[in-house]
């Protein structure tokens, strides 16, 4: 269906079928501009073959620097970060690809000034002045946080976080909460990502599917996000921070038992004693156990030296507990270090969270890869944030965010703490969340390890075409489903509901629910 001169990160992520072809075979000219990559839709009988060109950021750095500018940009209704071709360099690049090119849609910088454009030619070909794969990576790794900020400011913010954790052990709990609540006033000034839902990355996905379906003249097949025809996933996880929380597991586990839910429990090995019987009982109930750092003192990922010193002990407990998952205390994280932890999956990133000591978010409500590690983002606001910091009275934000993710075929990954469940707002809110989706037949009630395993199966599978249509080959063939991206940005499949977002327009535009929290 598609041929490309270079790997297409967007297609690889969604498992869209395509083949790689030499540049000369695709362009007819081995001297085509080196930074420009090409994807061509295979012509249908009696139809035209249209191409998508994009500026590859894997090209020669000198060639890239001559034509691109790293920045924050806005296209239609979504924000993105990355290198974009600006100025007079673009016509020079496109002139070697043919004639009739013209700017078709403006791209604005952070100040609202037009700086770049999506280009089209008279034959229906399209040029993107950015690399979608780089943009996706900017979101997933949170590298976008460095765009437009000086190294001094970034180091200062990191030092402030380290300072907080140095003094936190001697601060009374009430003072800690007052400081965190006061700090939210500073954190809320950040213009990106939005909270409690940031749509930019997934709006980019929908836009790309619509663009490519238009070029191909037919729907674009991809392997659906969830197995067995389920349209979304609900994943329950708990971090047990203290001995008091360890002694209170039943506050959260009991309502799960009553409704038949399973969950994941992340323990801190050296902060309190974890009985083997507790681990065995949870596993016998179908639950999962993970590693939550080593001491929960804010230093596990404080430096590479300290991480190297503590990692062998973390790995020892992972082996003892048969744990394949990791979550960093206080969701501390560093993109380059996480794969070195040696776990199958990590769940230390949020989709969006301005209220953590390390604020930010990957902006994804689907899993993704960091090298060989599967990243499972926390996509539901944390219980501590909602009830202790923002002082919510009920579970309304939880329920609305879960419905939002359900409509978008996303993953609602919940993080709660038995340490805070003595607060009736937390306990009652959690029961409300469990009850709301107990009878939902569209949801996959999954453990984190199951989601990570499925994502690996999906990543190891491909879509093939034949006389009987499209089919999946590989580990996901048994339980996977093929869905389609359509012109206009919708995604549909035989086993899933529409995902075009039309039913979410009022929800997405309604910011009163955020205002009510402040």
Q: How confident is the model at residue 327 (pLDDT cuts 50, 70, 90)?
A: very high
pLDDT of 179 > 50? The answer is: yes
Give residue for tokens 């990957």. 362
Query: Distances in Å between the alpha carbon of 53 and those of 47, 124, 333, 439?
Result: 19, 12, 35, 46
Q: How confident is the model at residue 292 (pLDDT cuts 50, 70, 90)?
A: very high
Over residues 457-476, the mean pLDDT reads: 93
pLDDT in tens, 186-207: 555 567 999 999 999 999 999 9
pLDDT, residue 498, reads 35
pLDDT, residue 23, reads 73
Rounded-to-integer distance, Cα 202 and Cα 197, Å: 11
Q: How confident is the model at residue 503 (pLDDT cuts 50, 70, 90)?
A: very low
pTM, whole model, 2 decimals? Answer: 0.89
Q: How confident is the model at residue 429 (pLDDT cuts 50, 70, 90)?
A: very high
Rounded-to-integer distance, Cα 230 and Cα 342, Å: 30
Higher pLDDT, 516 or 383: 383
Over residues 152-179, the mean pLDDT reads: 59
Over residues 90-114, the mean pLDDT reads: 91
Q: How far is CA 513 from the centre of its chain?
A: 23
The strand ranges marked E within 376-422 are 411-416
Rounded-to-integer distance, Cα 225 and Cα 330, Å: 28
Rounded-to-integer distance, Cα 473 and Cα 463, Å: 6
pLDDT, residue 504, reads 30
pLDDT of 511 > 60? The answer is: no
Domains, the chain, ordered by start:
2-143 (no CATH), 149-187 (no CATH), 227-455 (3.20.20.370)
Q: How confident is the model at residue 507 (pLDDT cuts 50, 70, 90)?
A: very low
Nearest alpha carbon to residue 323 among 256, 396, 388, 237: 237
Q: What angle do CA 58, 62, 65 make, to 5 degrees?
A: 85
pLDDT of 515 > 60? The answer is: no
- Provide φ and ψ at 471, rounded to 5°: -150, 160
Rounded-to-integer distance, Cα 96 and Cα 505, Å: 42
Q: Helix H segments across 171-231?
A: 173-187, 200-216
DSSP-assigned states of every residue in 150-179: -HHHHHHHHHHHHHHHHHGGGS-HHHHHHH
pLDDT, residue 354, reads 92
pLDDT in tens, 343-374: 999 999 999 999 998 999 999 999 999 999 99
> What mean pLDDT is reported for the chain?
87
pLDDT, residue 91, reads 87
Q: Which tokens go with 282?
A: 């949870």
pLDDT, residue 513, reads 40
pLDDT in tens, 80-90: 999 999 877 78
- Provide φ and ψ at 331, rounded to 5°: 50, 35
pLDDT, residue 35, reads 79
């Amino acid at each position: 269906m598609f041929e490309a001169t270079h790997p297409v990160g967007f297609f690889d992520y969604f498992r869209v079928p395509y083949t790689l072809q030499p540049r000369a075979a695709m362009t007819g000219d081995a001297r085509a501009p080196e930074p420009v990559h090409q994807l061509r839709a295979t012509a249908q009988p009696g139809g035209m073959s249209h191409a998508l060109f994009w500026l590859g950021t894997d090209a020669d750095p000198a060639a890239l620097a001559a034509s691109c500018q790293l920045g924050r940009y806005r296209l239609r209704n979504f924000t993105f970060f990355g290198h974009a071709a600006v100025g007079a360099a673009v016509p020079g690049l496109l002139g070697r690809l043919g004639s009739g090119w013209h700017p078709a849609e403006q791209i604005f910088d952070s100040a609202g000034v037009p700086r770049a454009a999506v280009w089209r030619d008279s034959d229906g070909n399209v040029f993107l002045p950015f690399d979608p794969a780089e943009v996706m990576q900017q979101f997933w790794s949170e590298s976008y946080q460095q765009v437009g900020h000086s190294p001094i400011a970034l180091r200062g913010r990191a030092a402030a976080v380290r300072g907080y954790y140095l003094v936190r052990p001697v601060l009374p709990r009430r003072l800690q909460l007052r400081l965190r609540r006061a700090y939210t006033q500073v954190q809320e000034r950040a213009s990106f990502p939005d909270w409690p839902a940031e749509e930019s990355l997934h709006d980019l996905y929908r836009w790309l599917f619509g663009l490519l379906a238009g070029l191909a003249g037919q729907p674009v097949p991809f392997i659906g996000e969830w197995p067995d025809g389920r349209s979304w996933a609900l994943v329950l996880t708990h971090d047990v921070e203290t001995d008091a929380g360890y002694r209170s597991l039943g506050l959260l586990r009991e309502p799960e038992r009553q409704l038949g839910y399973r969950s994941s429990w992340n323990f801190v090995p050296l902060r309190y004693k974890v009985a083997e019987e507790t681990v065995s009982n949870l596993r016998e109930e179908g639950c999962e156990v993970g590693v939550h750092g080593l001491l929960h003192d804010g230093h596990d990922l404080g430096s590479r030296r300290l991480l190297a010193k503590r990692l062998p002990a973390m790995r020892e407990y992972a082996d003892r507990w048969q744990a394949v998952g990791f979550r960093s205390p206080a969701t501390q994280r560093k993109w380059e270090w996480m794969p070195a932890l040696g776990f199958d999956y990590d769940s230390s990133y949020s989709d969006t969270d301005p209220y953590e000591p390390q604020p930010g978010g990957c902006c994804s409500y689907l899993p993704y890869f960091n090298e060989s590690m599967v990243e499972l983002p926390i996509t539901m606001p944390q219980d501590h944030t909602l009830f202790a910091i923002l002082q919510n009275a009920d579970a309304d934000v939880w329920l609305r965010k879960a419905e939002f993710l359900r409509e978008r075929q996303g993953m609602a990954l919940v993080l709660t703490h038995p340490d805070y469940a003595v607060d009736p707002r937390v306990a009652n809110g959690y029961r409300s969340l469990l009850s709301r989706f107990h009878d939902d037949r569209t949801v996959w009630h999954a453990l984190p390890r199951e989601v990570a395993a499925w994502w690996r199966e999906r990543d190891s599978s491909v879509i093939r075409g034949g006389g009987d249509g499209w089919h999946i080959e590989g580990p996901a063939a048994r339980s996977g489903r093929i869905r389609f991206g359509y012109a206009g940005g919708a995604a549909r499949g035989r086993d899933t509901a529409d995902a075009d977002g039309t039913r979410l327009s009022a929800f997405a535009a309604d910011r009163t629910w955020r205002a009510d929290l402040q």
